[in-house]
Structure 1
């Protein structure tokens, strides 16, 4: 492997001697609608709508605020009922207050998510219509228990690793995503936050669970994944459908590969035709453990 790397480096150096400037005229792409919609069990749906930004666009607070889509018509339906979502301001970890579409809970037509049900999201924005379907699946991945183990990270003996025992139903095709909360902080997804049952179908297994990370900040490789002794840790474990799993698995991979020149190109597959993003259902289970000092 080392020899192969040396050959590649040598080739790059030799080719640099005969390089020339090339000007590429990139076409300006039309803005796309970006959808981030979730519907958790026993909760109301939440949908954030923005417009895509150009690859070379300057990203700052003003650009992000200008990207939000206002005055859209957003509805969520099950097989019987339909509720209309209204624009409001919500707090999202890592982003702060943002514009989002949520139901008016004072209205009698609103309903919360229920495991095993299918939900259709419809959006009308900028004279275009979009439709996506998701399912809040049954909890075929069952979170049995969580615990912690001491670990030594360098000279630091105050770190701990979270572990979980999970039982998977015998029916194949189960998917999950997880988040962790430390003390009173926000729930954050792990760097690799998704799980499927291709290998573990129908078994009970134990896995280490990395601490969630704020992906808007630089990750410290020395401490990433560990908790501190004395922390109170809550695991938010979510059964999800295949489309939601595929979206977040690709996004996690793209984030982890950022800056790696040898990483394979990643295509993010959403489930909202004509738009970018996803509409996902989550069947949620919570468990909490206190890591003793």
Structure 2
């Protein structure tokens, strides 16, 4: 069956490539724009408020180690405020951190330090003293002064909506002695619109986000109690196996990172995931939504609940 599909697609793709005209934007030398990616968390093992400032790259630019290292904006003045309280975030560059803090910083920034992969010299801004930890129901603003520009954004950390009755159950058709499916229950509050995301960590590895299926809102189940499956996403480089896809290996420890967020952060991640997954010759252009004024990107508030379990029946 697979061979038949390949035989059909090969001439079809050649036909498309022979008819396709290359698209080159009219202006390839647009002025670089600032890009902000920052978060403030509340809940379990909440990270301190932090953000990274970079710049957009030219359409036809080549990516190198030097390009990445020079793309971070340093020397900015970043102010975090909530109500009448204000604090300044401290700039930290990855190369200046002591060895015992590099692994912790890499995990917060989303880099994998376990496979010796390249980590650029990220310069980020953080509330190192945790003088303003995130709290549910509070609104947080940032103001950034960088290279003569003023950038602002605001976000609200929503209240938590916990999972309930997490349990591993046999999955029909799979090796039930070695792999199980994770299910849970969710009681969605009717009084507000809710936005959810989950990530999975196996043992001491990094948290992994399911590709294209980590985000959802409650438009279809507002105020309802329902059962929710939480498939395990595959790690980078993990061979695909249809018979065990989404299942958890028995005997391993897993942690579910369950996140509630406001709509602006949901819209950013949702359009970003769609843009990443919407590839190919028939893909359509997707504009990633932003809640930042004076730049691109996102400043997001989230509430985190962690659930650590041993995979067993």
Alignment of 1:94-243 (within 5 A): 94=111, 98-105=122-129, 110-139=131-160, 141-151=161-171, 158-191=178-211, 192-212=213-233, 217=236, 220-222=239-241, 224-243=245-264
User: Over the residues paired in the alignment, what is the CA RMSD in angstroms?
Assistant: 3.0
Aligned counterparts of 1:190 and 1:201: Cα–Cα separation in 2: 23
Q: Deviations over 1:123-154 (max 9, x none)?
A: 11111010000000112x33223222233677
Aligned counterparts of 1:269 and 1:75: Cα–Cα separation in 2: 23
1:103–1:164 CA distance, 2 compared to 1 (3 A): same
Aligned twin of 1:67: 71
1:129–1:212 CA distance, 2 compared to 1 (3 A): farther
1:212–1:49 CA distance, 2 compared to 1 (3 A): farther
Secondary structure, aligned partner of 2:271: helix
- Following TM superposition, by how much is the alpha carbon of 1:219 offset from its aligned partner in structure 2, in angstroms? 6.8
1:68–1:21 CA distance, 2 compared to 1 (3 A): closer
Q: TM (normalized to structure 1)?
A: 0.84
Aligned counterparts of 2:16 and 2:198: Cα–Cα separation in 1: 47
Q: TM (normalized to structure 2)?
A: 0.79
Q: Deviations over 1:20-62 (max 9, x none)?
A: 8897654312111111101000542011111112232222322
1:219–1:129 CA distance, 2 compared to 1 (3 A): farther
Alignment of 1:234-273 (within 5 A): 234-258=255-279, 260-273=280-293
Residue from 280, 300, 310 that aligns with 1:280? 300
Aligned counterparts of 2:13 and 2:261: Cα–Cα separation in 1: 45
Aligned twin of 2:86: 82
Higher strand share: 1
- For these two proteins, the number of residue pairs brought into alignment is 279
Unaligned runs of 5+ in 2: 1-7, 95-104, 114-118
User: Does structure 1 retain, via aligned residues, the 8 Å contact 2:158–2:262?
Assistant: yes
Secondary structure, aligned partner of 1:162: strand
Secondary structure, aligned partner of 1:285: strand
Aligned twin of 2:29: 28
